Amino acid sequence: MPVALIEVNGVSKRFGTVEAVSNLSVELSPGSIGLVGPNGSGKTTLIRLLLGLLSPDSGNLSVLGCDPQRDPLGVRGQVGYMPEHDCLSPDLSGIGFVAHMGRVSGLPKEVAISRAHDVLEFVGLAEERYRKIREYSVGMRQRVKLAQAIVHDPPLCFLDEPTAGLDPSGREEMLELLRALGRLPNHSFVLSTHLLHDADGLCDQVLMLDAGHCIASGPVRELIASHEGESVIRIQGDTDRFLASLLQHGLTPKPMDREIRVELAPGTTRAVFESAAEAGVQVRYLGRSVATIEGLFLARVELPVPEDPT
Amino acid sequence: MSISAPRYAAGPSARTGPASRILAIASREFFRRARAATLLSVALTFFVVVTSVVVTVIFASFLRAPTAGDFESVYESPVWPFLMLIVAASAGAGSLAEDVGDRSISLYLSRPIRLVDYVSAKTIACGSWLVIATVGPGLTAVAVTGALGYASASVLLAALLGFVATGFVAAIFFTGLALALSSLTNRALYSGVAIFGVILVLYIGGSVVAGITGNIYVPYANPIENIRSVAHGAFGVSGGTATDPASSALTLVGSGVVLWVFALWRMRRVEVVSE
């Protein structure tokens, strides 16, 4: 049983009337972790809770064995953080800024400067490191943000929307950097993104949030495997009658929160519609579950039901 | 494209303590403020104070032996407080505001740094510039006057202590004021203007209200009058001020500390609101 990298137990956080994180409980092991969900799903709030920058209204958290509320400096000393928003000092050079953040992270001056050169070379800014940050493009700024997050070689790095604002080639280069980081032994990262396909092929674990709720978490392979071969049905009407009808047609439906999953052999799709007709319900969606994080998310999240034209 | 993981030429290293991290932020902030406006205002302060003191002492020496009180003349002019306002605005107005504005504060606070450490680092940087501006010129004036041989050693020592005492009290007040107003906005320009606005309102308002009501406590609301009074006390000049020097010093230092605590409280609020 691997030691938990992050433990979250019954955590809720509310801003005014908005519940950003709602009774969240999850345990994540070391590795590459995707924190995915749409904008406003509570990803950034969760990261800030894990960093100890916010206090939960209820519940408790643990990061690398430290409680962010009781020992925030213990947590922050072991993690790197790449915020989503622009946060760079425009009047500093890339090397000056990264070395400065290294010193603030606790590196001696000479070591911080040496590490800053190393990480700027890693992110592909070796040539531009002496230029002022104000002269950097969006892609270069994102790279500097990544560099400052890893300059002190933390065992865990929180990356909040690292591909935001990047063009396709810039995005692919950033993902390649993250893949390289993921190959480092004893290093983990939490990749927060609303671009679900960014997490595909990059993360070995995933935590899916929607409106502050956890809709799925665990190893990506296991989650995807549990959905492969199944079909997803969403209906409007009496679910119990529909389930009974499916059983009568020899199918074995698995009712989920907002949908029904069922394994359909070739040629049995018709049985679903016959069951629906008999139960007097309307089939709103019928499709195969797809083996991607994005597909997994879409299968789990409640999609808006279109207005009935009649 | 295939990228190798970063390799660090410098191997694993022991982490430095909080004092070193605070110093890193403070030194970065200090040099960040070494802009034209700050450097010019400090240079102008040196020029004005040194010239004013040296000329006053030389003229005094024609009539009698100069005293420590002759060195105090610079605080009687409105030029010195005005220069201090410029230094406070250029060195302190942006110290918190700019970090909130460009949101680099979230980077600092994601490091093993407490908010109080962060604000302390900013205080050290802003306070250093103000101490340079409030104490430095006085010490230079004492050195120049001593080198020219216009005052005795005991007078020079008394003047030196006077400049140090008055300078530090003024620096504490202006540092607290600059940080408090800087914590209220994310634009350095706004907090800079506010520094002038607050002092002018207190200066003019305090004088007017004191004149109308005759209340002996109202002048304590006027920081410029308080600094003048502290200078009188520090240089041994009797009378001529509406406030007691010791009480004025206490008022200025107390106000500076309260304003600093306000800045700290305000930064805690900013962090939550920014969510």
What is the tens place of the pLDDT at every residue in B150-183?
A: 889 999 999 999 999 999 999 999 999 999 999 9
Instruction: Give the pLDDT confidence score for residue A165 in this predicted structure.
Output: 84
CA atoms within 13 A on the CB side of B225: 24
Of B231, B229, B225, the C-alpha closest to B166 is B231
- Name the residue of chain A whose CA is nearest to B25's CA: A104
| Residue A59 pLDDT grade (very low, low, confident, very high; cuts 50, 70, 90) | very high
Q: Which residues contact B118 (CB under 8 A, 6 or more apart)?
A: B25, B105, B108, B109, B267
| Residue A263 pLDDT grade (very low, low, confident, very high; cuts 50, 70, 90) | confident
The rounded percent of chain A whose pLDDT value lies above 90 is 48
B13 interaction partners in chain A (CB closer than 8 Å): 107-108, 111
Q: Which domains does chain A have, with CATH numbers?
A: 6-223 (3.40.50.300), 229-289 (3.30.70.120)
Taking residue A259's Cβ as centre, other Cβ atoms within 10 Å add up to 21
B4 interaction partners in chain A (CB closer than 8 Å): 122, 180
Distance from CA of B265 to the nearest CA of A (A): 15
Residues 265-304 of A with CB under 8 A from B: none
- Name the residue of chain B whose CA is nearest to A182's CA: B5
Interchain proximity B5–A54, CB inside 8 Å: no
| Residue A299 pLDDT grade (very low, low, confident, very high; cuts 50, 70, 90) | low
Residues in chain B: 275
| Residue B1 pLDDT grade (very low, low, confident, very high; cuts 50, 70, 90) | very low
Per the structure, the complete domain to which residue B255 belongs is given by 18-274
- Contacts by B35-40, CB closer than 8 A, 24 or more apart: B35/B90, B37/B86, B37/B89, B37/B90, B38/B87, B38/B90, B38/B91, B38/B129
CA atoms within 13 A on the CB side of A204: 10
Pairing of strands A79-82, A156-160: parallel
ipTM of the complex: 0.84
Of B161, B160, B155, the C-alpha closest to B64 is B155
Interchain proximity A73–B114, CB inside 8 Å: yes
pLDDT, greater one: B272 or A43: A43
Is B5 a member of any domain?
no
Sign of CA dihedral A249, A255, A260, A264: negative
The owner of tokens 């070391």 is A30
Taking residue B14's Cβ as centre, other Cβ atoms within 10 Å add up to 9
Interchain proximity A53–B9, CB inside 8 Å: no
Is B7 a member of any domain?
no
Q: Which range (A24-28, A197-201, B113-117) has the least confidence?
A: A197-201
How does pLDDT run across B27-42, given as a tens digit for each residue? 999 999 999 999 999 9
Which residue out of B110, B270, B274 would a mutagenesis test of the A interface target, given it has the greatest number of A Cβ atoms within 10 Å?
Answer: B110
Which residue out of A73, A104, A186 would a mutagenesis test of the B interface target, given it has the greatest number of B Cβ atoms within 10 Å?
Answer: A104
Residue A200 region by backbone torsions, left for phi larger than 0, else alpha for psi between -120 and 50, else beta: beta
- Return phi, psi of residue A268, to 5°: -105, 5
Q: Two tokens at B156?
A: 């020079």
Interchain proximity A88–B102, CB inside 8 Å: yes
CA distance B52 to B73: 8
Instruction: Give the pLDDT confidence score for residue A309 in this predicted structure.
Output: 45
B20 interaction partners in chain A (CB closer than 8 Å): 103, 106, 108
Residues 194-233 of A with CB under 8 A from B: none
Is B6 a member of any domain?
no
A79 interaction partners in chain B (CB closer than 8 Å): 110
Pairing of strands A188-193, A32-36: parallel
B5 interaction partners in chain A (CB closer than 8 Å): 122, 180-181, 183-184
Instruction: Give the pLDDT confidence score for residue A62 in this predicted structure.
Output: 94
**How many structural domains is chain B composed of?**
1
CA distance A28 to A41: 18
The rounded percent of chain B whose pLDDT value lies above 90 is 68
Sign of CA dihedral A12, B110, A188, A292: positive
Nearest to B271 among A53, A101, A177 (CB): A53
Nearest to A104 among B3, B102, B111 (CB): B111
How does pLDDT run across A110-166, given as a tens digit for each residue? 999 999 999 999 999 989 999 999 999 999 999 999 999 999 999 999 999 999 888
Q: CA gyration radius for chain A?
A: 23
The answer to whether B32 touches A108, Cβ cutoff 8 Å, is no
Q: Quick check: A304 pLDDT over 50?
A: no
How does pLDDT run across B111-133, given as a tens digit for each residue? 999 999 999 999 999 999 999 99
Q: Quick check: B273 pLDDT over 50?
A: no
How does pLDDT run across B59-96, given as a tens digit for each residue? 998 888 888 888 998 898 889 999 999 999 999 999 99
| Residue A38 pLDDT grade (very low, low, confident, very high; cuts 50, 70, 90) | confident
Sign of CA dihedral A177, A180, A186, A190: positive
Instruction: Give the pLDDT confidence score for residue A3 in this predicted structure.
Output: 67
Q: Which range (A25-29, A193-197, B2-6, B89-93) has the least confidence?
A: B2-6
Q: At A241, which amino acid appears?
A: R
The owner of tokens 């500093």 is A92
| Residue A290 pLDDT grade (very low, low, confident, very high; cuts 50, 70, 90) | low
Is B58 a member of any domain?
yes
Q: Quick check: A248 pLDDT over 60?
A: yes
A72 interaction partners in chain B (CB closer than 8 Å): 114
Q: At B266, which amino acid appears?
A: R
For residue A163, give Cα distances in angstroms to A83, A160, A272: 11, 9, 41
Mean pLDDT computed over A167-189: 89
Is B4 a member of any domain?
no
A179 interaction partners in chain B (CB closer than 8 Å): 3
Task: Name the average pLDDT for chain B.
Answer: 90
Q: Whole-prediction pTM value?
A: 0.82
User: In Å, how far from its chain's centre is CA A91?
Assistant: 32
Residues 64-93 of A with CB under 8 A from B: 72-74, 76-77, 79, 81, 83, 85-91
Instruction: Give the pLDDT confidence score for residue B272 in this predicted structure.
Output: 46
Is B100 a member of any domain?
yes
Is B260 a member of any domain?
yes
Q: Quick check: A9 pLDDT over 80?
A: yes
Is B211 a member of any domain?
yes
- Return phi, psi of residue A85, to 5°: -80, 165
Interchain proximity A111–B7, CB inside 8 Å: no
Q: Which range (A147-156, B99-108, B112-121, B254-263) has the least confidence?
A: B99-108
CA atoms within 13 A on the CB side of B102: 17
CA distance A239 to A223: 25
Instruction: Give the pLDDT confidence score for residue A302 in this predicted structure.
Output: 54
